[in-house]
Chain A
């Protein structure tokens, strides 16, 4: 019983202690349109080792993340995001991937923003 509690407290302190060094907040612009893009961008980046938290806003196009800089760099993330179809400064998605995106996600076409995004619930 006592050991369980001590472990829990130790864990707590460790987690807080951890919070200081290896948590770098980064942000950059990623091209995209909609909620589907958001899910694709966030999924691809969070699965990278060293990315702790990732969010992308369809309104501002800003990608924000908390990363462990010892394990990953911004270009690594941009590269991975481009691999799933989204351009960012310095990294362009291959046409083969881009062309397979759903019509509403084809952000290079200015008209795509106004497209019907289907029944999302």
Chain B
């Protein structure tokens, strides 16, 4: 009742004064982004001289003019503002400085993940901003917020992160660093953790058959990472990171330009994992103890006038991991049955150089030469198993680019030479091998300029173990209508499988190794050979003035021969040549949209059908989720006076996974046929305090999902049933981290 009376009073007052007062406060932003009052600003009703000016606190009050209803706020040095008056208190009115507008440049920041409409291949480009979303720490983790590539953990003891594309593990993907092969051979399992995320400038992910330029090994895709360049990178960069499981990371880069053409960079990464974590109380560490130190010295020479570009790099790394039971003491228990423990010690040296020349008068013609040497040395033991591998590799490639008639017809041709020497000891049985090959390639690119383009490539290689063979690769793009592209590709790849290096987790189990090879060159096994075919469609469009892109693709990899890795008998791991069929089908659908200004959503659904004929029959590939559903939300506030907030959230649903057959085990060590599906969530908040300094805070696996009982027979690791290889979900509980980045 009192309320009604109060209302009545207001109405009466309003009627009583024919002219009530319109109030407001005039403000501006200072350099620090804070609002401060604007005194003495003129406030007047549009096209009249009725008005007032603001007081020292920016406040004003002027009688309402109901015929005009538009109030003009102006002050010298500011842009005037005209405000429709629809309420008595106009609140805060911000004036902006009057800048001289000689040219309006409309800029839209390029999205950190780009799917190109125009490239012939199905390429996703990822820049360093995207890598910041996974604040930790190396290349394997950089893919966790990216739907094109899946990250899997190899097993419950090593905790090595491996990636997958189109349902196939990383050995079937080609990795290159600045277009030179890397992460292959001995470094297959751990190699991704040897490239610190903060050194990476951008990543290009090509699905399906790659290009013939980089070799014949790629089957399901090609991932290239570009490192930061001394001439263009920040002068100094420092990043520290720590998480609740006592993982510490140090990243620093220092660059100096010796002259306009010559720059030098020194990059250092170190990490320490010092947490003795066994939250699931199975007596095994949930995450390895680790130490890594990693240096790179990089030189860049660039002289656009003469047309020469050149790089030289030297990188050295030393990495040690200790894992196994928490009461394992390496000094007294190594290779004994006192306790199960493992140590993996790796040292690696990489030296590479590149030189390129663009003919100054002929901008379409150039040549390039690349060469790389690496020496990788791993010494390790897993319980009573010992495994050592030494891999020396030499690579060189010469490429010549030019045109046939006009730039509608481009070609690349060249020669390559590779050498890989392997020395392996598996429980003191030596396996020594060397591979070398000489090859020539030719790749033709046609562009009709009216929407059709294709790249057709062929290479011929002569290889001591793979024989003489041809590798065809073909990519086509056709522009169907405005902002829509259709792509198709096919290609073949061939490789020899390094069965131990690629499946190192087998040593963390009591499984017997069984190689059923005949007289092949790779541990008695035949080389692997597969065709990959794919089609994709992408449509970009503007929905309510914001970019939306939709894409769908389908890829099939069909093996002609494969080294089948058979985990289906819990007593053994068997390697044998494929007899029958083995294929992988994958479908991916993406929908990306900017829902609100600077608020982006990315969604991806992937379906996999990966089937192999095992000795025991046709089965789905084990530990392969049948589907994945990925959602990423990203919001960035406007940068005001160098300050900004960035929010990022990723959720990943993984469908059920077939588990290897354990029916031969006693009931207590048997697993279900299928795992459950589960969800993983990561989130991160970054606060940019200035152009030089930002801090971040985040969490991984914040839903705290872990696989119960990740190690079979963990209390009897020297018994028959010990097995840590059947891992379908995380072992580590929710992880929280903080860090900062400082750059000049």
Chain A residue nearest to B104 (CB atoms) is A114
Chain B residue nearest to A12 (CB atoms) is B400
Chain B residue nearest to A8 (CB atoms) is B440
In the bound complex, CA of A54 to CA of B406 (Å): 9
Chain B residue nearest to A4 (CB atoms) is B460
**Residue among B117, B406, B415, B460 with max Cβ neighbours from chain A (10 Å):** B406
Q: With an 8 A cutoff between CB atoms, is A93 at the interface?
A: no
A19 touches B440 (CB 8 A): no
In the bound complex, CA of A55 to CA of B441 (Å): 29
In the bound complex, CA of A8 to CA of B440 (Å): 7
Assuming A46-B449, A53-B364, A121-B540, is B408 touching A5 (CB within 8 A)?
no
CB contacts between A and B, total, < 8 Å:
63
In the bound complex, CA of A119 to CA of B442 (Å): 38
Assuming A8-B415, A8-B442, is B361 touching A121 (CB within 8 A)?
no
Q: With an 8 A cutoff between CB atoms, is A1 at the interface?
A: yes
Assuming A23-B361, A46-B408, is B403 touching A52 (CB within 8 A)?
yes
In the bound complex, CA of A54 to CA of B276 (Å): 64
In the bound complex, CA of A1 to CA of B460 (Å): 7
Contact with B along A46-67 (1 / 0, CB 8 A): 1101011111000000000010
Choose one: B359, B449, B460; the contact of A43 (CB below 8 Å).
B449
A47 touches B363 (CB 8 A): no
Segment 1-55 of A: residues with Cβ below 8 Å from B: 1, 4-5, 8-9, 11-12, 15-16, 19, 23, 25, 43, 46-47, 49, 51-55
B413 touches A11 (CB 8 A): yes
Contacts of B76 on A, CB cut-off 8 Å?
none
Choose one: B117, B361, B414, B440; the contact of A66 (CB below 8 Å).
B361
What is the distance, in angstroms, from B64's C-beta to the closest C-beta of chain A? 39
Contacts of B408 on A, CB cut-off 8 Å?
46-47
A5 touches B483 (CB 8 A): no
Contact with A along B395-439 (1 / 0, CB 8 A): 000001011011110000111000000000000000000000010
B362 touches A66 (CB 8 A): yes
A53 touches B406 (CB 8 A): yes
Choose one: A1, A53, A55; the contact of B462 (CB below 8 Å).
A1
A46 touches B406 (CB 8 A): yes
Assuming A1-B462, A11-B413, is B440 touching A53 (CB within 8 A)?
no
In the bound complex, CA of A54 to CA of B338 (Å): 75
What is the distance, in angstroms, from A59's C-beta to the closest C-beta of chain B? 12
A51 touches B406 (CB 8 A): yes
Q: With an 8 A cutoff between CB atoms, is B679 at the interface?
A: no
B407 touches A121 (CB 8 A): no
Assuming A12-B400, A19-B362, A121-B483, is B406 touching A52 (CB within 8 A)?
yes
In the bound complex, CA of A16 to CA of B362 (Å): 11
Assuming A15-B400, A119-B542, A121-B547, is B407 touching A25 (CB within 8 A)?
no
In the bound complex, CA of A8 to CA of B195 (Å): 35
Contacts of A8 on B, CB cut-off 8 Å?
413-415, 440-442
Q: With an 8 A cutoff between CB atoms, is B468 at the interface?
A: yes
What is the distance, in angstroms, from A62's C-beta to the closest C-beta of chain B? 14
A-B contact pairs, 6 of them (CB 8 A): A5-B415, A5-B438, A19-B359, A23-B362, A25-B361, A55-B363
Additional 12 contacts, C-beta under 8 A, given A5-B440, A12-B413 = A8-B413, A9-B415, A11-B442, A12-B400, A19-B362, A19-B402, A25-B361, A52-B405, A54-B407, A66-B361, A66-B362, A121-B117
Sorted nearest first, the 6 A-B pairs with minimum C-beta distance are: A8-B440, A4-B460, A5-B440, A43-B449, A15-B402, A52-B406
